[in-house]
Chains A and B, each alone.
Chain A
Amino acid sequence: MRQGMLTCEAISEAAAKCLVKAGTTFRKDQFEAYRHAIENEKNRNAKWVLETILENAIIAGKMRHPLCDDTGIPHLILEIGDRAMLPPGWLSAVHLGISRGLKVMPGRPMAVKGTIVERVEQSKGLSPDPAKVLPAPVTVKSVRGDKIRITVLLLGGGPEIRAKTHQIFHRRSMEGVLKQAVEWARAEMSRLGCTPCVLAVGIGRSHAESSNLMLEAMKEGRLDRQNSWEKKLTEWLNETKVGPLGLGGKTTALGAFLKVGPLRASGVRIVTVRPCCCIEPRKATVELKGTKSPD
């Protein structure tokens, strides 16, 4: 190994820290979005919920405690620089880091044990080891440069019950597609429970691709940088007045993250909509230089 080259240990440690940060820390844009929502919320119970979520985030950050007991399923997006030099076994090192992070945070021990049928029926119970919660299949992307970026997203169970991937006949109208997408989300808002949500939307050519685009939307999105379509999605959701925890008020959604990929020559768009819960998207990114070990 060339001296100064990135090591598997450095990759593993970075991935572990990244996971812990994603699960225990609000980002600046989240804090700002909550403070803004609290200022604008007139419904006193709704305001109390927003304040409680904010207080929880402050305690979680200070104590390095999970933001939510459902610590989520790790989803990883790896961006690999086309000039990055990676050591043999680097991907295994990322996975090792994720399992280390789950032990440290700690993650919720929710891996279902057993064979295919036993897992589906949850008849063999759960593993007590949080590290047994395996990440979802990893997304790997090529980017320019010599760096690698590891992004960890932790996806909780509540939004998964309410998420949907489906086809929409676009009729050559962006507004029409998004209105249909938001209609699904509006129908689920009061049953989600953990509002205010952040709506993540991916639009692509296949169900797999649109789901992945939705994940990328979660990775890239910022609550303090919303484009006009994201603002519209948020407004449409806030019109429901479902409010925090369904208690009413102005704040049903804090924002929306939209990602549109390459599209098919067709009258159909495949759209994934996920109403992320009030502490999501839980995400963190770490960047490593792919030619020498990080300091």
Chain B
Amino acid sequence: MKSLHHKNRVVKVRAPVDEETIENLRIGDRLEIWGSIYCGRDAVLPRIAKLFEENALDKINIHLKGAVLFHTAVSIAGIGPTSSNKLEIEENIPILSRAGVKIHIGKGALKPESLEALKRNNAIFAVTPPASALFAAKTLSQRIVAFKKEGMEALYEINVTGMPAIVAIAHGKTIFAQPPLS
């Protein structure tokens, strides 16, 4: 993919994602994501991170190399981003990036430590609006991968066609700036 620096370009991304694709993304790029992506949040991400550190992810058939991970529940009400800065989600972004996740999708500003970890692992963070009705039209299928007991917070894999997101953190740069307090 050719590197472009101008803002507001639309980039089609197919999951799983390779290193070069990530290298060429910039903050402000608008993504259309295609293919199979993982969905998980507070209840399962710490457990997946632990399994990775124990070298046991293959045992439950989770493959994170090049993965896109959407911080969302999956339920009859649809999908939509949860706050990625919740403790159990954000503290596992570094580990899951090391495990191979290339695009983390969610919402809300992240800490500088997360920004550094993303950069170190050539991974990015993208944000998307809570557009559940719209996402429903872009979701072809869904299945539970692991931790079924967690209900809507289980680890899911969904197949999406052109799911929209915007790159918020990439290569040490962020769109988020803390507003100055008066």
Contacts and interface: CB of A to CB of B under 8 A. Distances in A.
Contact of A60 (B79, B133, B151): B133
A53 to B, nearest CB: 5
A194 B168 CA distance: 14
Interface string B133-177: 111110000000000011111000000000010101000000111
A175 interface: no
B152 A190 contact: no
Contacts of B149: 125
Q: Which 3 A-B pairs have the closest CB atoms?
A: A193-B107, A193-B108, A126-B151
Contact of B78 (A65, A246, A248): A65
Contacts of A69: 72-73, 75, 77-80, 130, 132, 135
A237 B81 CA distance: 23
A110 B82 CA distance: 14
B3 interface: no
19 contacts: A45-B7, A48-B8, A49-B129, A52-B134, A55-B134, A59-B133, A59-B137, A60-B132, A66-B132, A66-B133, A69-B135, A109-B151, A127-B151, A183-B181, A192-B83, A193-B83, A193-B84, A193-B85, A193-B127
Contacts of A60: 132-133
A53 B129 contact: yes
A191 B85 contact: yes
A63 B133 contact: yes
Contact of B107 (A45, A183, A240, A245): A245
A278 B130 contact: yes
Contacts of A187: 178-179, 181
A286 to B, nearest CB: 22
Given A44-B7, A56-B134, A107-B77, A245 B129 contact: yes
Given A55-B131, A109-B152, A193-B107, A48 B30 contact: yes
Given A122-B43, A193-B106, A247-B175, 19 more contacts: A44-B7, A49-B129, A49-B166, A56-B131, A67-B132, A69-B73, A69-B135, A158-B83, A161-B83, A183-B181, A190-B176, A191-B109, A193-B83, A193-B84, A193-B85, A194-B107, A194-B130, A239-B179, A245-B129
A157 to B, nearest CB: 7
A149 interface: no
A277 interface: yes
A290 interface: no
Interface string A162-202: 00000000000000000100010011011111100000000
Interface string A45-76: 10011001101110110010111111100000
Interface residues of B, number: 49
A128 interface: yes
B108 A246 contact: yes
Interface in B50-81: 72-73, 75-81
Interface of B: 7-8, 28, 30, 43, 72-73, 75-86, 106-109, 127-137, 149-153, 164, 166, 168, 175-179, 181-182
B1 to A, nearest CB: 20
B82 A125 contact: no
A108 interface: yes
A76 B41 CA distance: 29
A222 interface: no
Contacts of A128: 151
A237 B163 CA distance: 30
B162 to A, nearest CB: 12
A217 interface: no
A53 B131 contact: yes
A70 B109 contact: no
B182 A183 contact: yes
B76 A109 contact: yes
